[in-house]
Chains A and B, each alone.
Chain A
Amino acid sequence: MWKEIGDREFGKLRTNLFSNRIKSARISSIQLSNYKDFISPHRGSINSLQVDLTEGRYLLSSASDTSVAVYDVQRATDYDESGLIAKHKHILLVDKQHEQGHKYAISTAIWYPIDTGLFITGSYDHYVNVWDTNTTQVVINFKMPGKVYKTAMSPVATSHMLIAAGTEDVQVRLCDISSGAFAHTLSGHRDGVMSVEWSASSEWVLVTGGCDGAIRFWDIRRAGCFRVLDQSHSQLGSRPTILTRSTANKSSMLKTSSGGLNSSTKGRPSQKKMGNGVSLKHAAIARQVRGYGKQRLHPGMLSSQDRATAHYGAVNGLKVTNDGMYLLSAGSDSRLRLWDIESGCNTLVNFETSRLQSTKALQLAISHDSKLVFVPCMSTTKAFDLWSGKTMMDLRGHYENVNCCLYNSLDQELYTGGNDRKILVWSPSKTTADELEGRDGQAFAIDQDNWSD
C-alpha cells in the first residue's frame, strides 16, 4: 500500500488506477458493518432505498407501513456508549399520521435528481406524490389508474423533468412536474409494468420491464417502442462480431420486420436487415406476414404486435450499467440476464441464481467499476461477477427476504433493506491498525473532522 502511494507520487501509477485498485480491494472485503448502523423507524418491510445523486449524503427509504424516512449517511446522529458504533437515526419521517401521507404501502421513493429539495413517492394507493423535503408537504400529486410499482426520473435530463411511473395498468405514464399534468403514455406492454429505468446515456430513452416478461426500450419523443428484447437473440461475447450479427438477423428477420424497428422509414428496414445470401422468398414471406389480415396501424405502433419475451415470467428488476452499454434484468423465472443495449442481444452470461422472489420488485446494484452485481436472492444478497456469472460473495444477515440493495460508491458500502424492517450496512472491514490509532483513548468511530466554529 505504501509502495503504491509512492508510485503514484512519482507518477509511475496513474491516479485513476490507484483509486480503482483501492476501491476494488475494499469492496471485495465487505462484511456486516461493525461500526455503522441505521436505526430504522419503519414498521413494515422496506421496499426501496436511494441515495441522492448530487452529494451521496442522504438515504431515502420507503416501507410498506406507508412511511418514508431520510437518513444522513455520513454524519452519525449519536454513538453508543463505548463510541465504537455510529448510529444513524432518521432525520425526517413521513408516515400515515401526516395528513397528506399515503394510505397504503409505498413501493418506491426517489430523490429529484438535481437536488435534494424534492423527493417523489409512489404507492399502492394509486398516487404519485411529489414532496418538498424542507417543509415536508406534498407539492403535486398524480393519480394513476392502478397500484404504482416503480417511478423513475432521468439522472442526465437537462430539458425535461418527467417522472416515469410503472403501474399495474398496461400503460406507462410520464408525469411532468413543471406543468403538473401527464405528458404522455407509452403503450405496448400487455400486463402491468413492474420496473422502469431511464438510460444512463440518453435523457430520452426509457427502459421498462413488464409482468408479461417483455423489456421494451422507448424513445419518448416518438410513438411506440423502438426495441423489444428477445431472449432468443443472443450473441456470444461482450460485443457482437460482424458475422454473427448477420446470421442472427437472418433468423430474426421474419419477426423483426413486423416489429418495425425504424418507424420513420417504413419500407427500408426489411431490406436493410437482410444478411448475405438470404433468398428473395424470405422477403416475400416477410411482407406477407406483416400484412396478414391485421388492420393498418401507425408505423410506430407496430411494435405492440411484437410478442418477444425477455424472461419466462415477470421482469422484476432492471439495472443499467454505469457506462450505459449493458442492461441487467432479473425475472421471476429466477434468471438474471445481461443484455447488450446497442445490439439488443442476450450475452448469455449465466448467473448462478437458484431462486429469486417473484411477487415484489427487486432493486439491483452494480459496483462503480461495473464488475460486481449485487442481487437480493431470497434472504441473502449475492454478489456476482458481471462477466463470468460466478458467485463472489454471499451476504447473509437479514432474517427475511431482502428487497433492495444499494451501492454507495463514495464509501464502497452496500445498504440492503428487507422484509424484516431493517436496513443493514455492509462495509469494508477496518483493519486493526485503524483501531489502534484512536487517540487519547477515544474510539475510532467518532469522526474527528466533524467540528465547526
Chain B
Amino acid sequence: MENSNPSTSRKRQRPGPEPGPEPGPESDLNEAQLQSVEENFNFSDTLVALRMMRAQFPRIEKVSIPPFILRSQLYSSVKDRTQVDRELESLRREGVLCTFKLNTGQDDHAIMFLDDYFSQIERISKRLEAQKLEGLCVFEWFKEHVIHSKLDPSIGHDELRSLLSLGGKVKEEHISLLINAGLLTRQLIDPNMYWFAIPNIGSVLKGLSQGRKELMSFLNRRKYKEMAMAALEKKRLRLSPLDMRFHLRDLLGSGHLKTVEAPTGLLVKVVKD
C-alpha cells in the first residue's frame, strides 16, 4: 500500500538505489561477496570434512606440498561411505577437486582441491623457467586441456598426446618434462598408462607408510592392544613428518583400527580379524 505511509516506504527503499552511484570496487566487492554466498550456500558433509582437513594439514619444512586428504580419512569422519563416494564423484565432475592414486599399497587415493593443484603447477613451471629449460608451454597445455577433460586418475599414452596436441605440436621431450616435474608417473601394472601424481610427494609417501607401520606396531606391542585417544594424540611419530591426527584418521578409515566408547573417553583399538 504505497499511499498509506509514503515516508516509511521511501525510507525502506533508500538502501536500494544507494549502491548504484557508489564507486566501482565497492560494488564489485559486494557482488563478489554475494556470489560466494550463493556458491557456498549449501554444504555437503564431504565438502565440510574436506575443507576442515585441508586446514588441519601439517606444515612440512623443506618440501612445498599443497594439502591433500586421503580417502580413508574421509571415511572415518563421515558416517555413510556410499554418500562420501557419491559426493566425491559429483565434486570431481564439477571440477572442484581431483583424485590421485598413490602407490603405497592397496587402493590409496589422495584428494586435492583443484586450486591448490593449479597453484602447485604454477610454482613448478616458474621454478623451471628460472633454469631456462625449453618446452615450458607444455605446462600450460597440460593445465588447459588435459586436466579439464580428465576424470580418471590415469591416462593412456595416445590420449595424452592427442589432448596435449590441442595446444600445439607435441614432442617426446614435452612428456618427459612432465614426468621429471613429477606430474605424471608410471606404475608397474600397465606400461602404457600414465598416472597423475602430486609433485614432490616422494618423501611424504615414505613418511606415510612408515608412520602407519610405526603406529600399528606401537599399539600392537601394548598389553591389550589399545590406548586412550587423548593420550595417543599427544605422542609424536618419529619416522613420519605428518602428524598423529593424520595417521589416526587414515587408519581408522581403512579399518585397521577402531574406536570404542569407554567411560573415560574414546579408546583406540587394533582390529583383530
Q: Which residues of A contact B (CB under 8 A)?
A: 232, 234, 236-237, 247, 251, 254-255, 281, 285, 288-289, 292, 307, 312, 333-335, 348-350, 352-355, 377-380, 387-389
In the complex, A377→B255 CA distance in Å? 13
A333 & B107 in contact (Cβ 8 Å cutoff)? yes
Instruction: For residue A172, give the distance in angstroms from its CB to the closest CB of chain B.
Output: 21
A334 & B82 in contact (Cβ 8 Å cutoff)? no
In the complex, A247→B190 CA distance in Å? 27
Instruction: For residue B89, give the distance in angstroms from its CB to the closest CB of chain A.
Output: 5
Excluding A292-B158, A380-B273, 5 further A-B contacts by CB distance (< 8 Å) are: A251-B151, A333-B107, A334-B107, A349-B85, A350-B85
In the complex, A78→B86 CA distance in Å? 53
In the complex, which residue of chain A has the Cβ closest to the Cβ of B163?
A285
A289 & B151 in contact (Cβ 8 Å cutoff)? no
- Whether a CB of chain A sits under 8 angstroms from the CB of B81 is yes
- Pick the contact of B151: A232, A335, A354 (CB < 8 A): A232
- Pick the contact of B89: A236, A281, A312, A378 (CB < 8 A): A236
B255 & A352 in contact (Cβ 8 Å cutoff)? yes
A379 & B273 in contact (Cβ 8 Å cutoff)? yes
B190 & A254 in contact (Cβ 8 Å cutoff)? no
B273 & A285 in contact (Cβ 8 Å cutoff)? no
B273 & A232 in contact (Cβ 8 Å cutoff)? no
In the complex, which residue of chain A has the Cβ closest to the Cβ of B254?
A354
- Whether a CB of chain A sits under 8 angstroms from the CB of B249 is no
B107 & A236 in contact (Cβ 8 Å cutoff)? no
B106 & A333 in contact (Cβ 8 Å cutoff)? yes
In the complex, which residue of chain A has the Cβ closest to the Cβ of B192?
A307
B159 & A236 in contact (Cβ 8 Å cutoff)? no
In the complex, which residue of chain A has the Cβ closest to the Cβ of B152?
A232
Instruction: For residue A131, give the distance in angstroms from its CB to the closest CB of chain B.
Output: 37
- Pick the contact of B273: A254, A354, A388 (CB < 8 A): A354
- Pick the contact of B107: A251, A312, A389 (CB < 8 A): A312
B149 & A348 in contact (Cβ 8 Å cutoff)? no
Instruction: For residue B248, give the distance in angstroms from its CB to the closest CB of chain A.
Output: 16
- Whether a CB of chain A sits under 8 angstroms from the CB of B90 is yes
Chain A residues, CB < 8 A from B149: 251
Chain A residues, CB < 8 A from B90: 236
Chain B residues, CB < 8 A from A236: 86, 89-90
In the complex, A380→B272 CA distance in Å? 12
In the complex, A191→B82 CA distance in Å? 31
In the complex, A4→B192 CA distance in Å? 62
In the complex, which residue of chain A has the Cβ closest to the Cβ of B256?
A354
- Pick the contact of B81: A285, A307, A352, A354 (CB < 8 A): A352
Interface string of B179-193 (1 = CB under 8 A from A): 000000000011011
B166 & A281 in contact (Cβ 8 Å cutoff)? yes
Chain B residues, CB < 8 A from A289: 158-159, 162
- Pick the contact of A388: B80, B89, B192 (CB < 8 A): B80
In the complex, A378→B271 CA distance in Å? 13
- Pick the contact of A355: B86, B93, B192, B273 (CB < 8 A): B273
In the complex, A307→B155 CA distance in Å? 11
A349 & B82 in contact (Cβ 8 Å cutoff)? yes
- Enumerate 11 A-B pairs (CB-CB under 8 Å) in ascending A order: A247-B93, A251-B151, A285-B162, A307-B190, A312-B189, A335-B107, A348-B89, A350-B75, A353-B255, A377-B273, A388-B80
- Whether a CB of chain A sits under 8 angstroms from the CB of B121 is no
Instruction: For residue B23, give the distance in angstroms from its CB to the closest CB of chain A.
Output: 39
Interface string of B77-106 (1 = CB under 8 A from A): 000111011100110010000000100001
Chain B residues, CB < 8 A from A307: 156, 190, 192-193
A388 & B162 in contact (Cβ 8 Å cutoff)? no
Residues of B153-186 whose CB lies within 8 A of A: 153, 156, 158-159, 162-163, 166
In the complex, which residue of chain B has the Cβ closest to the Cβ of A352?
B81
Chain A residues, CB < 8 A from B163: 285
B82 & A388 in contact (Cβ 8 Å cutoff)? yes
In the complex, A194→B158 CA distance in Å? 30
A389 & B159 in contact (Cβ 8 Å cutoff)? no
A348 & B86 in contact (Cβ 8 Å cutoff)? yes
Chain B residues, CB < 8 A from A254: 159
Select the residue from A292, A350, A377 with max chain B CB neighbours within 10 A.
A350
A312-B107, A354-B254 given; A348·B80 CB < 8 A: no
B82 & A354 in contact (Cβ 8 Å cutoff)? no
Instruction: For residue B47, give the distance in angstroms from its CB to the closest CB of chain A.
Output: 15
Chain B residues, CB < 8 A from A292: 158
Interface string of B258-273 (1 = CB under 8 A from A): 0000000000000101
In the complex, A236→B46 CA distance in Å? 15
Interface string of B123-167 (1 = CB under 8 A from A): 000000000000000000000000001011100101100110010
In the complex, A216→B151 CA distance in Å? 22
In the complex, A388→B192 CA distance in Å? 36
Select the residue from A254, A348, A352, A387 with max chain B CB neighbours within 10 A.
A348
In the complex, A349→B85 CA distance in Å? 7
- Pick the contact of B82: A288, A333, A350, A379 (CB < 8 A): A350
Chain B residues, CB < 8 A from A380: 273
Chain A residues, CB < 8 A from B255: 352-355
In the complex, A23→B85 CA distance in Å? 32
B84 & A350 in contact (Cβ 8 Å cutoff)? yes
In the complex, A352→B255 CA distance in Å? 8
In the complex, which residue of chain A has the Cβ closest to the Cβ of B258?
A354
In the complex, A251→B149 CA distance in Å? 7
In the complex, A320→B107 CA distance in Å? 24
- Pick the contact of A288: B81, B106, B162, B190 (CB < 8 A): B162
